[in-house]
Structure 1
Amino acid sequence: SLGIKSMEMEISDIVEGVIKKYPPARKNKNAFGNVKARVRPVLAYAVANCSNGMVVGTSNKTEFLLGYFTKYGDGAADILPIADLYKTQVRKLAEYLGIPKRIILKKSSPRLLPNQLAEEELGIDFETADRILFWLERGLSKEEIGRKTGASEKLIDYILERVERNEHKRKMPPVIKIS
């Protein structure tokens, strides 16, 4: 519906090549998934370089704030056009743009591991996360957020902790000043 050209590439042979170079990564599901997430942008940048294009990121504000992406992996992009929209806003925008319902309603997944679903992995549904993040960004106290959203203090703490713990993913690495 948007007239955007897409391309699919099989990457399992490349992922396998990386895993063969460092076999312990196969036994660590986080490492294995991150290898896959980091292979994707390597190919995306190859295509961008060959076509004088850009890599357009797919992270939304919810994923971005919660750190639900792989650093230097699926978070790698030249531009993040929806990173200032919460997941629920992205779905509403997609509906407005006439994106097919099957795509809008599809369960969110980074597709790094079999049967991986974002909300299950995060332990919270996007609607609740978005409401909490919305008020956190506006500087409300945990008590005020709880009153406005009905979320427990434990859940609000969990969201706040994720945002703080993953701040490093949203920033360039520190430069050690030696001169």
Structure 2
Amino acid sequence: MHKEPKTIPHINEEKAAEKISNFIKDKLNESRTQGLVVGLSGGLDSTTTAYLCAKAIGKDKIMGLVLPSETTSDEDVQDALTVAEELGIKHKVVHVDEFIEPFKELLAQSNGEYDTKLANANLKARIRMMILYYHANAMKRLVVGTGNRTELLVGYFTKYGDGGVDILPIGALYKTDVRQLASYLNVPKSIIEKAPTAGLWAGQTDEDELGIKYELLDKLLHLMVDKKLEDHVVAEELEIPLDEVLRIKKMIKSAEHKLKPAPLVEIR
């Protein structure tokens, strides 16, 4: 019996970087805008995206926004600033907590009736989106998303938050692909090896929240989505419980609405 490989085929870093750079340039030209705005979190995805933008159009047409809150680590802020300085792009820091403050009275009205942890986290992501678009509109630029294929497939992003963007340069790359491309682009090793986090609450990490390591998740998604293998075959290939495969499959199904325009009723 033929066995599927348990690793994702490696991308050609040079070709991927070139193709993504051309994509960025083409979308910028098509939009007839004057540049790009990208959020810098100090993490792998946003850093790699910023490096690709700089490769595509040069530093002068890029604005990097660092959007920390009280749950953002000092390390992440410093890494984001270091990336902006190394690339030579214009950048600024906008603290989002003061924008969240007016919502606190509204949120307090729930009186503990609802679990607002996720709602608060999504609010933070949506405020960041508004700040990015404010600058993009004012500067006549595009908002560049930093989501990868792994996050998009399982819905690990906020609808109309970090999912509210104009283009997604690394949206076809799994997380492991992004790490590979980041090494090729000479992204600092400390950023590549850092535990991924959205910084939406204290101590939050992506892998803890997802309940699975990215390396395994990417293999699972590759076999399930790209190879279209049956659930039990995926479980056997990766030597993991079938329940885990079904859990991820449910996440993919639940995330489908995030990747589509809002539905409407056909009248004619």
| Residue 45 of structure 1: how far off its partner (Å) | 0.4
Aligned with 2:210 (options 100, 122, 126):
122
Partner of 1:54: 142
Q: Structure 1 residue 136 and structure 2 residue 224: aligned?
A: yes
C-alpha separation between the residues in 1 aligned to 2:170 and 2:65?
Answer: 20
Larger radius of gyration: 2
Gaps of 5+ in 2: 1-49, 67-93
User: 2:183 — aligned with what?
Assistant: 95
List 4+ stretches of structure 1 deviating above 4 A: none
Task: Write the letter of the residue equivalent to 1:146.
Answer: A
Question: Structure 1's 15 and 25: CA in aligned 2 closer, same or farther, altered over 3 A?
Answer: farther
Cα-to-partner distance string for 1:104-141 (whole Å, 9 max, x where unaligned): 11111111111111100110000110000001112101
Residue 25 of structure 1 and its aligned partner are, at CA, apart by: 9.3
Amino-acid identity (%): 37
Q: Which has the higher mean CA deviation after the structures are superposed, 134-143 or 3-12?
A: 3-12
Question: Once the two structures are superposed, what CA deviation does each residue of 1:22-71 show, in whole Å capped at 9, x if it has no partner?
Answer: 32399610111111011001000011111111111111111100100111
Tell me, in whole angstroms, the C-alpha distance in 2 between the residues paired with 1:170 and 1:151.
28
- Tell me the matched-pair count: 179
Higher strand share: 2
Residue in 2 aligned with 1:22? 107
Structure 1: 5+ residue runs without aligned partners?
none
More displaced stretch, 27-36 vs 76-85: 27-36
What's the C-alpha RMSD, in Å, of the aligned pairs? Answer: 1.8
TM-score (norm 1): 0.93
Q: What is aligned with 1:113?
A: 201
Cα distance in 2 for residues equivalent to 1:104 and 1:88 = 10
TM-score (norm 2): 0.63
Question: How far did residue 156 of structure 1 move?
Answer: 0.6
The aligned amino acid for 2:123 is V
- Alignment check: 8 A CA contact 1:15 1:36 kept: yes
Check 1:94–1:54 CA distance in 2 against 1; reply closer, same or farther (3 A cut). Answer: same
Q: Which has the higher contact order (CA 8 A, sep 6+)?
A: 2
Partner Cα separation in structure 1 for residue 147 and residue 234 of structure 2: 24
8 Å contact kept, 1:58–1:81: yes
